[in-house]
Structure formats: C-alpha cells, structure tokens
Structure 1
C-alpha cells in the first residue's frame, strides 16, 4: 500500500497552548476501493463522536472527522483541563475501540442476515483504528498501536498530558 503514511514516522504540529492533539488512524483496508474506505471512515467518525459523548469531552476542533472524503487519519483538538481526558484517551487507545467495533460488526451482520437471503461473509477481522497519536503543545508525542496494555497506555498518556514534556514514545 504505497503512499499510506506510517503512524510510527508521521509528525504533527504541536497542539495549541492548553490543548492536546488526538490523531485517530483508520484501519488498513484489504482494498483501496472508495466504498470500503468510506465505510471505515464513517465508522471511525461514529466511534470518535461516541467516545467524546461517553466521556463528556468538549472537542474544540473535529478536523476532518465528518468529512465526506475518507482520510488515513483525522485530528481532534481537545482542552487538557478536562479531568476525564486522560481516562478517555486511555479507553480509546486500549479497550473501547475494539469492544465498540466488534459489537457494531456483529449487530450489522445479524441485521443483514435477517434482511437478506443468501449467505453473507463474516464481518472483516479488521482493527477499528490502526493507531492513535497524541501530541501536546511542546511537541511531545505518543504513538499507540493495537495491543498496548491499559497500564502502559495510562503511563505514556500521562506523560503527554504534561504540556512541558517534549519526548517521544512509540508503544505497541
């Protein structure tokens, strides 16, 4: 898949003062057809809106989250003063993403089976997000890939929530 940015090496601008930039990378698709990519993009948007509502986060800028054209990643800007932000990002990075998408895929497959005749292939075994990148105002950044434990995610997320931290952490 030439031309697809790599979350391990892609850099982002520092977040504005008092904010954190959360970058949600879409899952890699088996094909590059527009319907497949649009579906993944739409599901990611639904997840991010659900996540912000569930944690009562005020997103200052949704970036391209709701754009009509799919993108490899979308950026959100969130104020770091929100007390539930660290827990919310930890959940997004570790557990809620997988549980949310597994339930949606199962529900969609069940609905399709009852509304259509014939055999349908099982839902794709794709991860909902390829990675999550978090960037603070000093340019410190954390890249979290699938499989990170809750404890490790909490530690690196706490680091990047410090607006003066300038390090880089790559975790999987």
Structure 2
C-alpha cells in the first residue's frame, strides 16, 4: 500500500452538525516533491474548488488545500444540505482512480489545461467524516463499482442531515 493511502487511515476530526470533513489524497510520483507531485497537488486543489463552486457547497475550512507545499492528504470541511447530497456523491464517486487520467490535448496547436498533458481530474481515495464521528473511506483499492460508490456515499451522506 502506498504512503498516501496509508495517510487516509489517520484520525480526521469530526466537524460540527450539518458538516463533513473530507480528507483527500493526491496521486503519487516516484520522487517526493517533484514537479509531478506539485502538479498532482494543484490538480487536487482545482478539484476541490470546482466541487465547492459547481455544487454551491459552502466551505468552512480549506485546510492545506492551497498550500505552496504538496501535502499527501488535505482536509476540507463542507456544509451540506439534503439537496446537494446526490450530486456530491456522484462527483466524489467519479474522482477515484488508481492512476491519474490522461488529459485530452484537443486540436493540434491548442495547449492542454495542465502542463505536459499529464493529469485529469482524479484522486486515489478520500475519507468522509460526519459530525457523529462516523467515517467512510474509499480508495481505488477498496471502492466498488462507480454506481455502487454513489449508492454507498449517498446513504452515508444522508446521515449528515439526519443526525
């Protein structure tokens, strides 16, 4: 098992009622703190900001998401409502991949969105912690099919609004 995914086994704080802590790993490279690890951290930051912006999810804390150093795992605290849970579950379920996805470079002469056309939106895993302390970990090693991931995440996240 990789160091990054081992880091997901750490204890993450339970947030206030109606919130979740989302701890997200980044993909690894063979050399620590290489330009590739920096790029993976930037890509994860972009994912998290897009998640909040696109779904309109309020963020109580960004943690080390936008840090200058590439952390293996970052935590954000999100405020959830019942209406956003299905979309959030679908987005999170789609994020999990073992390897970074390749970016489509588009027409010849167009620059890819990310340097060297290396990365597209994905992470190797994450942990969700509810205010009652319940925890759900999903990684490429443990996650079921994407459809089943959505079902499991939706059920788990519904506990945030039920508590």
How far apart are residue 34 of structure 1 and its match? 3.1
> Would you say the 8 A contact 1:135–1:160 is kept in 2?
no
Matched, 1:129 2:123: yes
With normalisation by structure 2, the TM-score equals: 0.74
How far apart are residue 87 of structure 1 and its match? 2.0
How many pairs align?
A: 154
Q: 1:50 to 1:130 in 2, by over 3 A?
A: same
Q: Distance in 2 between matches of 1:151 and 1:129?
A: 17
How far apart are residue 37 of structure 1 and its match? 1.4
Name the SS of the counterpart of 1:83 in structure 2. Answer: helix
**Which residue of structure 2 aligns with residue 155 of structure 1?**
151
Matched, 1:107 2:123: no
How far apart are residue 159 of structure 1 and its match? 3.6
Alignment gaps of 5+ in structure 1: 115-120, 166-172
Matched, 1:47 2:47: yes
Name the SS of the counterpart of 1:107 in structure 2. Answer: coil
How big is each residue's C-alpha offset from its partner over 1:106-161, in whole Å with a ceiling of 9 and x where there is no partner? 339x66889xxxxxx9847x983110110001111111113532332233223432
**Which residue of structure 2 aligns with residue 32 of structure 1?**
32
Question: Which aligned pairs between 1:51-130 and structure 2 lie closer than 5 A?
Answer: 51-81=51-81, 83-94=83-94, 102=101, 105-107=103-105, 123=118, 128-130=122-124
**Which residue of structure 2 aligns with residue 168 of structure 1?**
none
Larger Rg: 1
> Would you say the 8 A contact 2:26–2:40 is kept in 1?
yes
Q: More deviation in 72-81 or 2-11?
A: 2-11
- Superposed CA RMSD in Å reads 3.5
